[in-house]
Structure 1
Amino acid sequence: MVTGELRSKVDRVWDAFWSGGIANPVEVIEQITYLLFIRRLDELHTREERRANRTGEPMQRRIFPEGLDETGRVARPFDDLRWSVFTNRSPQEMFEIVDEHVFPFLRRLGGDGSSYARNMKDARFTIPTPALLAKVVDLLRDIPMDDRDTKGDIYEYMLAKLSQSGQNGQFRTSRHIIKLMVDMAAPTPEDRIIDPAVGTAGFLISAVEYLREHHPEVETDASVRAFFNTKAFTGFDSDASMARIASMNMLLHGVEEPVIERGDSLAEGHPASADYSLVLANPPFAGSLDSETVAKDLLQVVKTKKTELLFLALMIKLLKNGGRAAVIVPDGVLFGSSNAHKSLRKMLVEDHKLDAVVKLPSGTFKPYTGVSTAILFFTKTSSGGTDEVWFYDVRADGFTLDDKRTPIEANDLPDVLNRWLSLSKPGNDEHARPRTAQSFLVPKDEIVANGYDLSINRYKEVEHEEVEHRSPEEILDELDALEVEIADGLRNLRTMLADPVEAEGVA
C-alpha cells in the first residue's frame, strides 16, 4: 500500500499535473507512466553497462543505440535520450528533447510489427510547458521504482484516482489477491497465459515473477527463454491507454515481446483461438452490453448481455483442453437465477471440471467497488470431470475491509494456498473437514441437486453456540432486590430534601 511519505510524493506529482492544466486522470496516469518508463529504461541500461564493465563482456541488452539517434542517424548522441542526461538540461532544452526525440524513440522501441509498436504508435507527449515538465521531473526523482512491489503499489494508488473506477473496470486488482490466484494456478514454462482484460498487466507480471522464482530455466535455457519472451504472455484491453501501460510494464519486467493488444475481447474479431493453457483475469463487471456488439460465437455459448457471463464463455473458448482458469467473478454468477446464469454454471460442472470456489470478503475491492466477489478455478476438459468442488470462505485478507484498507494481522490467504496445495497430497484432511469449517469439499451430486448453485452459504453449516441462561425465578429475585435498593435510595433522598440539616447530621 502507498502510505506516508511515498503517498505524499505521488500526490504532489498528481497535483502538479492538475495545476498545470491536465485534468483528465487517465492522461495524467499515462504521462506519469511514460516518464517513469523512460527513467526505468535508463536504469536498466546503466545496470547492463556496469555489468559489461565489470565482466569485460559486451552488453547483452543495449536499450539505447550507441552513437545513434532514434532514427538511426549519427546526428544526436544517444545519451541525450537517457533520463539521467536530459533531466539535467534546462527546462526548454529538456522539453524539446523529450518531445522531438525521446517519444519518437519510445514509439519505435518494440520493433516493427510488435504489439508494443502498435500500442505505442499513438503515444503522445502532452505535457504543455517546459516549466511543468521540469517540475514533474524533479518530483519523480524522489519516487523509488527499483522495488517491483512499490512500483505496483504506485500504479494501484494512481488508478484509485480514476473517477470512473468501478464503472468500467479500470482499477488494479490488489497484488496480494493476484499473487494468491497465480500461486494456486501454478504456471509452468510450457503455459501460454492470457488475460482478456489485461489492464496494467498485473496478472501477467505476477505470472512472470512466479515463473522466474519457481522455474529458473526461463532465464537460463535458450529455447525456454525464447518462448517466455515471445509466446508465453498475451493480454487484451479495450482501452488504448491501458494497453500502452501494460506494454511498458511488461517490457520493464524483462519480457521482450509479449502480445498486448488493444481490442474488445467480447466483440466480433475477439481472440478466439483455443491455444491457451492458462487464463488469469479479473474482467470488468460493467453490467449489460448491447447484444449487437457481442461476438456471435460467444452468444452461442451463453445467450446473455451480462459481461461477467460473456467473459466466462470467452475464457472457455480461449482454453485448449486441459487448460486452467482462475477468474474473479461477482457473487451473482454463483447463484443468479436467470437461464444464462444457470446454463453457464451447469456447463462448468457438467462439461468441464470445476475445481474450486474461493469466496472473498465483501470489502476486498474497496475503495473501488463494494461488489462481493469470488474466485473460480476450473479446468477445460470438454468431457466433464467434476467429482467434487472445493469451497473456501475467506474472512480476512490481511487488510481492513473499509475504504482505507489498512494492513492487519488477520489473513486467511496463506491458509487458502496451503489447503489448496494439500488437496493433491495423499492423506489430506479436507475430506474430513465439517461444513462448519472455512474450507470443505462438496460432491457434484449435491451441487446438481441444488440447481448448480455455487454460493458457499448454500452448503456451509452454521454452528450455533449453546448459551446457558439463568432461570426466570433467579432474574425476578434479582429485580426484587434491585427495587428494594431503589426504594431505600428514594427514601433517603426525600429525607435530605425535607430537612437538609438533619440529613447532613445523618451523613
Structure 2
Amino acid sequence: MDRQALANRIEHIYEIMRAEGLSLLDYVEQLSWMLFLKVLSDREEERKLEAELRGEKYRPVIKEEYLFHNWPKRFGVDNLKKVKDAQKFYNFVANELWPYLSSLGGSDELNKIGEIFSSISLKIRDPHNLLEIFQNIEDISIDGEDSHIMSQLYEETLMLMGREGGAAGEYYTPRPIVRFMVKVVDPKIGETVFDPFCGSGGFLVEAYRHMYPQAKTAEDLRKLDEAFYGQELKPPAYLIANMNTLLHGVNAKLVKTDTFSEDIRNPGKLYDVILTNPPFGGKVTKANQENLPIKTSKTELAALQYVMRKVKPGGRVGIVLPDGVLSNVTKSYVKVRKELVEKNNVFAIVSLPQGVFANISPKGGTGPKASLLFFERGKPTKEIWYYELVPPNGKNYTRANPVKDEDLSDALEKFEAWKKYLETGDEEWKKKAISENSWVVSIEDIKENDYDLSAKNPNRKLTVEYPAPEEIIASLEEKERKIAELLGEIKSILGEKP
C-alpha cells in the first residue's frame, strides 16, 4: 500500500472517530490499542512460523482465538470485511475480548497488555463504526513498507496532537528539540537509554534512530535490542509510547509507574544515558517527597534530582527544564544546583525562546520559557558553554510557526566545536564555539552568582526603544482626559446622595 493510500485509510478512520465526537487525543489513543492488537497478532504469526521451522511447539502470548487474525473465524468468515452482524462483533470486543485482555498478567508481556486494557476504555460507541474501523485496519501490514509508512503517519499524528495543546501536548516534545538533544548526548551502541517521563516515547525512538546506523554486527543488534527503557504514569501516554516504539521497531522496556514513587536515595538500576522532558508545574505528593534528598513539591526540581541519581558515573543526561529551575533563589533550588555543578560536569545549556513549548501550555499562549541542560555525572563543572536560540527572520515561535531542525543547525555546529575543545583542550576550538549567540561561563562566576545557571547572553546589547515625544504627549493627554471623565462621574454620583 503506498503512502497516499495508507494516509487516506487513516484519515477515514479519524473521520469515523470524529463522527463519534472524539478528540484528536482520543483518535491516537483508540487507534493505538487497535494497532497494538494488530501488531501483536502479526508478531505471533512470525513466532509461530519460526517455531515450526525449528521443530518446536508454538506457544502464543495470548489465547489464539483472541489474536486479531483469528477473529473472522468466530463469525464463520475468512476476513472481517465479510462480517455482517456489527452488534455481534461489538459485543465480542467489548464484553469478551476486552475483559480477557485487561485481566492478563504473570509475565512482562502479559502485564503490559493487562495494564494497557485495564487503564483505558473503548470509546467507540456505534457497533457499525467499530467494525468499519477494524475492517480498514485488517489488511494493513505492520511489517515491510506499510510499517515504515505507518510509523511516519503515526508520528505526524503525534505532532498534530502536540500542536493542539492542553493535555495532548503533555505527550509530545517538538521533534527538532528531541533530535538536537539526542545528537548532543550522542548515545552509543552498548549504552542503555532511559526516559523516566517518556510521554509518547519520542526520545527513545529518536535515540534508536541515532544508534541503529552504528550497528555493524549481530552482537551490536542484540545490544541495541536491550538498550531502551522508559516510564510513564498516564495510561493514554503509556499506550501511545508502546505503540510508537513498536511501530518504529524499538524494543523498549516500558513500565507504567509514577517515577516519583521511587526512593532515589537508593536508586537501584542506573543508566548510561538519560533523555527526558519532565512534567512542568506539577506537584509531587507529600509521600513521594520523602523519596527526595532535597524535599520539594515541584515536579521539575524533583525530576532534576532524580536524573542526577539515576545516571551511571560517566553517563550523560539531556533534560528540558523551565528556566525557573536554573535561577530560582529559594533554598531548595540553590542546594540542588550546587550539588549539580559540584558532582556533575554541566557542559552545555541551551536557552530556548518563548513559544518553543507552546504545545504544552494548557491555557494556550506561548508556553513556558525553558532551557536544555546537559551534564555528565562524576566530574565537577569547570566551565559551561551556553547557546541562546533566536528564531530566524525575527518571527516568534508559535503552534503555527514551530521550531525546525534547521533552526538548531548553528547551535549544533557551535556545540561540536565546544565538544572538540573539551576533548583536546585546543583553544582554537573554544574560539569557534563562541559567537553572538554562544558564550562560556566559568564555575567561579556561577558560584559568585549563587549558583544561578540561567542564560545571560553577554554579547547581546540591551536596547530600549522610546516613543517619540509627540507620542508621549498624546498618551498623557488621553490619560488626563479619562481621569477627568472618571472624576466627573464620581462627583455626579456624590451629588445625587442626600
- TM-score per shorter chain, which class? 0.7 to 0.9
Residues 94-243 of structure 1 aligned to structure 2 (within 5 Å): 95=90, 98=93, 112-114=107-109, 116-122=112-118, 124-137=121-134, 146-147=148-149, 148-161=151-164, 163-165=166-168, 170-217=170-217, 220-221=218-219, 224-230=220-226, 232-243=227-238
Contact persistence 1:274–1:317 (CA under 8 A): no
CA shift, 1:371, in A, is 0.7
* Letter aligned with residue 448 of structure 2: A
Question: Structure 1 37/158 Cα, relative in aligned 2: closer, same or farther at 3 Å?
Answer: farther
* Letter aligned with residue 132 of structure 1: N
Contact persistence 2:289–2:295 (CA under 8 A): no
Name the CA distance, whole Å, in 2 between partners of 1:91 and 1:34. Answer: 22
- Does residue 1:440 correspond to 2:443, yes or no? no
Name the CA distance, whole Å, in 2 between partners of 1:205 and 1:150. Answer: 14
Aligned to 2:400: 404
Name the CA distance, whole Å, in 2 between partners of 1:202 and 1:94. Answer: 34
Corresponding residue to 2:371 among 371, 374, 382: 374
Name the CA distance, whole Å, in 2 between partners of 1:195 and 1:294. Answer: 19
- Does residue 1:262 correspond to 2:252, yes or no? no
Aligned to 2:450: 451
Corresponding residue to 2:297 among 297, 305, 327: 305
Contact persistence 1:330–1:372 (CA under 8 A): yes
Contact persistence 2:44–2:61 (CA under 8 A): no
CA shift, 1:283, in A, is 0.4
* Letter aligned with residue 290 of structure 2: K
Contact persistence 1:355–1:389 (CA under 8 A): yes
Aligned to 1:414: 409
Contact persistence 2:347–2:374 (CA under 8 A): yes
- Does residue 1:252 correspond to 2:255, yes or no? no
Name the CA distance, whole Å, in 1 between partners of 2:242 and 2:444. Answer: 45
* Letter aligned with residue 207 of structure 2: A
| Per-residue deviation, residues 303-356 of structure 1 (Å, max 9, x unmatched) | 321111000001111112111110000011121111122111111112221111
Higher gyration radius (CA): 1
Contact persistence 1:201–1:246 (CA under 8 A): yes
Corresponding residue to 2:290 among 296, 310, 324: 296
SS state at 1:386 partner: coil
Contact persistence 2:323–2:454 (CA under 8 A): yes
Contact persistence 1:387–1:443 (CA under 8 A): yes
* Letter aligned with residue 80 of structure 2: F
Aligned to 2:349: 357
SS state at 1:341 partner: helix
Contact persistence 2:65–2:71 (CA under 8 A): no
Tell which deviates more after alignment, 33-42 or 437-446.
33-42
SS state at 2:187 partner: coil
Contact persistence 1:345–1:452 (CA under 8 A): yes
Provide TM-score, normalisation by structure 2. Answer: 0.73
* Letter aligned with residue 19 of structure 1: A
SS state at 1:332 partner: helix
SS state at 2:441 partner: strand
Name the CA distance, whole Å, in 1 between partners of 2:34 and 2:351. Answer: 39
* Letter aligned with residue 438 of structure 1: N
Name the CA distance, whole Å, in 2 between partners of 1:236 and 1:69. Answer: 23
Name the CA distance, whole Å, in 1 between partners of 2:287 and 2:17. Answer: 36
- Which gives a bigger RCO, structure 1 or 2 (Cα 8 Å, sep 6+)? 2
Aligned to 1:346: 338
| Per-residue deviation, residues 221-277 of structure 1 (Å, max 9, x unmatched) | 2xx4444334x2221111122222222332333344x32111111125679325211
* Letter aligned with residue 380 of structure 2: G
Aligned to 1:322: 314
